Homo-oligomer: A and B are copies of this chain.
Amino acid sequence: MSERNFREMLERKWGEGKFVCVGLDSDLSKIPQTAKKPTVFETMLAFNQAVVEATHDLICAFKPNIAFYAACGESGLLALKYTIGFIKVFDPEVPVILDFKRADIGNTNNGYVAEAFEYFGADAVTVNPYFGKEALKPFLDMKEKGIIVLCRTSNPGAGEFQDLKVGGYTPLYQIVAYNVAEAWNSNGNCAVVVGATCPEELAKVRKIVGDMPILIPGIGKQGGDVEKTVKAGKNSRGRGMMINSSRGIIFAENPREETEKLHNEIKKHP
């Protein structure tokens, strides 16, 4: 088996017209009673397996957010590890993004690199830009992995720092996008995060980063609009987007139906 390369896996999925990313934000307190198993580990793993089986052929990536697993201690983290292992065996063509938004000084990031890629076996991670490129080198050096940098996040208060005008003109999030595209991406493994809740900012970032992949959370429960997102987010080849929905899919009555709905809505706006 050849090594998994995140960007190549993603391009193959885009080639099949797949842009939905399913966020495995498997909050234990939201998993229905009827799906509960004897242990936390079994409950979370079985819940995820059902979502993966129902959605894997319609999507471009899975994206578990580690916070929901870490909340349950080692049982949750083992469920996450086994979920990623399950995805890689069940459908080896779907990449897995570990959404963990980490960043520390360089020396310390080695620990997070080991956690993400050795222990969990993820294909990509999200990271926070605040420490700068120099600190994130241990991540950026992982050529086969995707390094997805927070740029403009989807939360209502994201603008507190991200929209501040640097030098009086350029919002911070645009500087982040520019630096990632121009200076951080020598291995071609970078991507950025921009929320679907801010389509104007998404369009600005698309102009700055060229054809770079953009992870776009905020569709579904957070209120992002699909048409505006696709128009603002697609790249020059009509690709470049990982459009994430988490709660709106995984806690739906029928996760496959919700995934298909989002998939079809995206395809309406070529």
Chain A, 106-145, CB within 8 A of any chain B CB: 106, 108-112, 114-115, 118-119, 128-135
Provide the bound-state CA to CA distance between A172 and B155, in Å.
20
Write out the residue numbers on chain B whose beta carbons fall within 8 Å of the beta carbon of A168.
Answer: 167-168
- Picked from B27, B119, B131, B134, the residue with its CB within 8 Å of the CB of A111 is B27
Evaluate contact between A161 and B104: CB separation under 8 angstroms.
no
B153 contacts A161, CB within 8 Å? no
Within 8 A of B (CB), among A142-201: 150, 153-162, 164-168, 172, 175-176, 179
The count of identical subunits is 2
Contacting residue for A155 out of B118, B119, B131, CB 8 A: B131
Cross-chain contact A153 with B135 (CB below 8 angstroms): yes
* Cα A172 to Cα B164 with chains together (Å): 9
**Interface positions of A from 51 to 81, Cβ below 8 Å from B:** 65, 67-74, 77-78, 81
Q: Which residues of B contact A109 (CB under 8 A)?
A: 67
Contact check: which of B69, B72, B101, B132 meets A104 at CB < 8 Å? B101
A222 to chain B minimum Cβ distance, whole angstroms, is 8
How many residues of A are in contact with the other chain, CB < 8 A?
Answer: 58
Asked if A160 and B172 sit within 8 Å, CB to CB, the answer is no
C-alpha spacing A150/B162, complex, angstroms: 15
- Tell me if A71 and B110 are in contact (CB < 8 A): yes
* Complex: chain B residue closest to A160, CB-CB: B132
The verdict on A130 contacting B132 (CB below 8 Å), with A68-B108, A167-B168 known, is: no
A85-B130 Cα distance, complex, nearest whole Å: 31
Enumerate chain B residues within 8 angstroms of A73, measured Cβ to Cβ.
77, 81, 115, 119
Q: Are A155 and B134 in contact (CB under 8 A)?
A: yes
> Are A130 and B130 neighbours in the complex by a CB distance under 8 Å?
yes
Q: What B residues does A67 contact at CB under 8 A?
A: 102, 104, 108-112, 115
If A73-B119, A101-B103, A130-B153 are given as contacts, then 5 extra A-B residue pairs at C-beta distance below 8 Å, sorted by A number, are A67-B111, A71-B119, A73-B77, A134-B160, A160-B179
